[in-house]
Amino acid sequence: MAALVVCAVWLAGCASDPADVEDRSIGESPSLQSPPQPRPKPLPPGGSYRVVKGDTLYSIAFKRGLDYRDVAAWNGISAPEYKILVGQEIRFSPPGAQPAAVAARPVVASAAPVAAASAPAPASAPPPAAPKNTGMFEDVPNEPAPAAHSAQVAVAAPPATPPPSAPAASTPPAVPVPPAVAPAAAAKPSPEPVPPPTKPISDSATASSGGITWRWPNGGKVIGTFVAGDQTKQGVDIAGAAGDPVIASADGEVVYSGNGLLGYGELIIVKHNTNFLSAYGHNRKRLVVEGDKVRAGQQIAEMGSSASSRDELHFEIRKNGKPVNPLDYLPSR
């Protein structure tokens, strides 16, 4: 009897252990469900950049397609030196405008999907049954659809059959109408616009625009033109041979001479006034340095193929930081 009592006590002790463990785990479970961590705030709309050796304010703004004066104002960089330091962080948006812009974007983004989702519903709604049937007939290339069309033609034919309209029906040699002669004639004019003839670099033709007298930076043939919004076609490409002279398109000051902008190779940027810059890329050799004053027609580089598959000059004009079509400013050729 005493043995049974001892066993019972021992079993009760064993059973109590898991209960204690379970009680402790339950007490800990609420702490595991901690409130969700707030998501990190998105980066400013414009982002930022850290200055490296060789950068200038002009080259940094040029790469982002921004007006150097705006970038200077947003970062407290004083004119006219626009001095920046290696390691300095440059922001690309006005500090005060960032919160509003960030808050507005999510709202617009969330509204767009809703509108898009609501649009398809009415479109697929069954009410417009007639249009749906028409679409179905058009989509299915089976014989039923042609049969329906032929039936309609037959119905219209009987009334016209009694009179000598039958020959007229056979006459519909509308086939002669398709003579693509007219289209061919229209197609001929399109090939006619051929690139302007090449003129020697000695040509001193100029054109005044934006308060600047512009001239061609090289007399080679234009092989690539400006396309608005295309990041790879923000200027004109001029063919030539390695070593051909590249001249300043107008009077100005060299504000960048280097190879730090991806895709431009050996690049020179000239500031003509507060609104206009011109850029000369893919050079084989740069003949000017930052701070040099240049005159229109002065050689500033030798043509090459740096960052390009062939010898050519990539020429751009920027107005208030934005690329514009150089052909709108250069003299006609």
Residue 32 has what pLDDT? 38
| Backbone Cα Rg of the chain | 37
Residue 143 has what pLDDT? 43
pLDDT confidence of 13, banded at 50, 70, 90?
low
Tokens representing 19 are 């209960």
pLDDT more than 90, % of the chain: 49
Over residues 49-74, the mean pLDDT reads 95
Residue 333 has what pLDDT? 86
User: How confident is the model over 200-232, as pLDDT tens digits?
Assistant: 444 568 888 889 999 999 999 999 999 998 988
Torsion angle in degrees (nearest 10) through CA of 248, 249, 252, 258: -50
Over residues 31-50, the mean pLDDT reads 52
Residue 269 has what pLDDT? 98
Q: How far is the C-alpha of 235 from the C-alpha of 228, rounded, in Å?
A: 9
The mean-pLDDT minimum among 36-50, 92-106, 136-150, 194-208 falls in 136-150
Distance of CA 22 to the CA centre of its chain: 60
What type of residue is 1? Answer: M
Residue 11 has what pLDDT? 53
**What residue ranges define each of the domains in the chain, with the CATH number in brackets?**
48-96 (3.10.350.10), 207-328 (2.70.70.10)
Q: Which of 269, 277, 267, 271 is nearest to 253 (CA)?
A: 271
Phi and psi at 89, nearest 5°, equal -90, 125
User: How confident is the model over 69-93, as pLDDT tens digits?
Assistant: 999 999 999 998 999 999 999 999 9
User: How confident is the model over 100-124, as pLDDT tens digits?
Assistant: 343 333 333 333 343 444 444 444 4
Q: Is the pLDDT of residue 8 over 90?
A: no
Q: How far is the C-alpha of 41 from the C-alpha of 102, rounded, in Å?
A: 9
Residues 294, 320 contacting (CB under 8 angstroms): no
Pairing of strands 266-271, 252-258: antiparallel
